[in-house]
Chains A and B, each alone.
Chain A
Amino acid sequence: MQSKASYLIGKTVELILTLLVVSLLVFAAFSVIPGDTARVMLGPDATESQVELLRAELGLDKPLAARYLSWLLGLLTFNPGKSYAYNVSVSGLIAQRLPVTIGMSIIAMIMVILISYPLAVLSSRKPGRLGDQICSVIGHVLFAIPPYVASLLLILLTSSVFSLLTVGNYVSPSEDFFEYIGCLLLPSFAVALPKIAMSFKFLRSSIIEQKSADYVRTAKSHGMSDLKILIRHVLPNSNVSSITIISIILSDILGGSLIVEQVFNLPGLGRLLLSAISRRDFPLLSGIVFYLALVTVLLYFISDIAASFADPRIRLK
């Protein structure tokens, strides 16, 4: 059996290699851009010497490998250079937008856990009952609704039925923390909906599987109460596999929030990304893309490690 240390080392090597490939992918994508960046920035009227000057200033005249290294070093030291369009540092721009995206992701994740766990436990008590079937059907439907469509439908619902429309109002957390949470609730719910369905479906089948395991029957024959079996044995065992699912859900939530921000007009990373795309602001774009991928890589890394600590058998695989 692999020891804890060698498993950790193996995973860390994998993490570094993955990051390397991710950074190469991002860099390659932005190095094959058709057209001369300096020429595009200065416009067709600029003289050749002006273009050369800007190329030197942006470091575009250096060989590809040198540019890759300096770009990667810049990203890893959180100093990825200046945005073409805004002419301020990329990390500053990203940091400014983080509260929205991170806040939404955290709230959405809390919603997923708070709603899917109780429903899955209730549903798996008597699988096949009417309540369980209704939950499963609703789960299927929710799973098929893209987050941005869910946002639109929620906006429709809140504006026509409850006539409380708060789309477009954003309050920064430093101004009023509760207002900030309040304006993120609806978008977070829209992002969370399909993931609630996913987490519910997964947990339900995992709990049902655990419940038919031999150790549960043994515990029952020892006279343990159902609730105690559920809390002490079934849930911890279904948790191990849900650690992996949670990291996938978190990454999906992050990806989904990029679009939903646009629907609700929230100044988050998604909107910054879109403005970077439309202005062809590649330093900013590559920075956002790399950091978002970095967060996901780290999430998967942490979840792998956490799962292996919770269930040492995983290290055998």
Chain B
Amino acid sequence: MARAKKNSAEKTPEASVFYIVGLVLLGIVVAAFIVSLFWTPFEPDATDAASKLMAPCASHPFGTDNFGRDVLSRIMSASKYTIFISIAGVAIALALGTIAGIPAGYFGGFTDRGIMLIGNSIMCFPGILLALVAVAVFGASVGNVIWALGLVFAPTFARVCRVGTMEIKELDYITHARVMGVRPLRIMTFHIFPNLVPQLLPATVIGLANMTLFESGMSYLGLGVQPPDASFGKMLADAQAYVRVAPWLIIFPALMLVFYILGLYFISEGLRISLSKGGK
């Protein structure tokens, strides 16, 4: 086993490669978001009948759409929703997952079975199905998408917490704390949770990426971010009718979306490699 670990450590690229590429990709999207807070080349929603479906040129580097709206400006303002929804959704999932997962791992028995049963049941809805149900019932809005996706992703974090807690609670210092009469809630909050952070960190980064995958899919179906606000998914859906005449309408939002997701994946891969090396 030790040999296998050594081999794979030798043959996978360094973690820093993943960090650099990931941060560059993510940086493009985050930079677009930060700049969009202060300045966009045009108003993202401003229509211009004179410049419909213009190919990329000097004044519109990414071209314009069927309403004459500047694609660059729209992409910049769309990055806001992508970043905001993924962070808010993961925060909810992380909170729910931790609250459910640590007691499940700590107490075991029926608590564990009950919590995992609910978690597994939530995971049995393929893809965005459960989030779609929530949106169907409560209406399509950014808020509903966030809590629905937060709920869908909570079991993933609960699993990470549960497995981690089961390992940690066997350690001597937890037994010691228990013998000293420290309450379970205090043990879980101050002695177990901080030690789960190394495991939760890569899971959180991947969660952000997967959350974006789901959110953009819902926006594509028209059940996420609502027009006239720009989101990558909605821009792609609108662009589909012009696939032959205006491919730039698809290419640029798709690139930004993939940069964001890929950047997060690379960072999580880097985290995974450096954490597994550190743990050796």
Q: How many residues of A contact B (CB 8 A)?
A: 56
- Whether A152 lies near B254 (C-beta < 8 A) is yes
- Whether A280 lies near B236 (C-beta < 8 A) is no
How large, as a class, is the contact surface on chain B? 35 or more
- Whether A274 lies near B221 (C-beta < 8 A) is yes
Provide the B112-126 mask, 1 if CB < 8 A to any CB of A, else 0: 000001101110111
A interface residues, Cβ below 8 angstroms from B = 14, 17-18, 21-22, 25-26, 29-30, 32-34, 127-128, 133, 140-141, 143-149, 152-153, 155-156, 159-160, 205, 208-209, 212-213, 251-252, 254-256, 258-259, 262-263, 273-274, 276-277, 280, 285, 289, 292-293, 296-297, 300
**Most chain B beta-carbon contacts within 10 A, residue among A17, A259, A273:** A259
Interface majority SS (helix, strand, loop, mixed), chain A: helix
Q: How far is the CB of B169 from chain A (nearest CB, A)?
A: 18
Complex-state Cα separation, A11 to B257, whole angstroms: 40
Name the one of A26, A133, A144, A159 contacting B209, with C-beta atoms under 8 angstroms.
A144
- Whether B133 lies near A21 (C-beta < 8 A) is no
Shortest Cβ distance from A20 into B: residue:
B121
Q: How far is the CB of B11 from chain A (nearest CB, A)?
A: 4
Complex-state Cα separation, A199 to B183, whole angstroms: 44
A and B contact pairs by CB, cutoff 8 A, 27 listed:
A18-B120, A18-B121, A22-B121, A26-B133, A127-B11, A140-B266, A144-B209, A144-B261, A146-B213, A148-B220, A148-B236, A152-B236, A152-B254, A153-B250, A160-B244, A208-B7, A251-B127, A255-B127, A255-B129, A258-B126, A258-B127, A258-B129, A259-B128, A277-B223, A285-B136, A289-B133, A293-B129
- Whether B125 lies near A156 (C-beta < 8 A) is no
| Residues of chain A lying within 8 A (CB to CB) of residue B3 | 212
| Residues of chain A lying within 8 A (CB to CB) of residue B46 | none
Name the one of B122, B221, B251 contacting A25, with C-beta atoms under 8 angstroms.
B122
- Whether A140 lies near B117 (C-beta < 8 A) is no
Name the one of A18, A33, A259, A276 contacting B220, with C-beta atoms under 8 angstroms.
A259
